[in-house]
Amino acid sequence: MQLTTSLPLALAGVRWRQGQQITNRNRYPDELRWLLDRGSLTARLKRRAETFRVIRLASETRSIYNHERRIFASACNVRVHTAIVREVILCCDGHAAVYARTVIPWSSLAGSNRRLLTLNERPLADVLFSGCGVARGDIEVAQVRTSMPGSERLHARRSLFFPNQKPILVAEFFAGDFNFCTTEE
């Protein structure tokens, strides 16, 4: 199975770093406030926008990238080569704000986690932050190359979530023109 993404990003060579290990926090202070926030990104986006929409690009079985395999192996001792990959665009006021990629191992789809397969155009946050106490792993950050005009690199974050103690990986890539400075609260 070939490695693919519906997102305009170069994901194969991404170098992720632990968020808490960033020493130069003065370089991107506004960006880091968003990248390291452990709350619901969807909720923050909804607070700052008049309209919010999820556009699903893909939801299918795919091979996953080596860096995705490694995080499942090191954090959860789970070997994953293929998984359900869901890719979406989170839009605020008609503009792409965040590109998101969720990797769901087949072994994580037991019980009520099967609802992850039927999200369609609904935000994943509806499941992860619905008050059922889903644990979240450490946040990692990166700058990711993009093929979009006007943007060379996008700020990104990812972390494991554990609905029903089963791992899923969520990566979020902020659009190049995303305004990190705008207050939303």
Binding positions: 86, 124, 172
CA distances from 107 to 66, 84, 134 (A): 18, 10, 17
Binding site for substrate: what residues are annotated?
86, 124, 172
Are 170 and 161 in contact, with CB atoms under 8 Å apart? yes
Measured distance between the N- and C-terminal CA atoms of the chain, rounded to whole angstroms:
44
Could you tell me if 136 and 38 are in contact, meaning their C-beta atoms sit under 8 angstroms apart?
Answer: yes
Residue with tokens 């503009």, as numbered in its chain: 95
Looking at residue 36, the DSSP 8-state letter turns out to be T
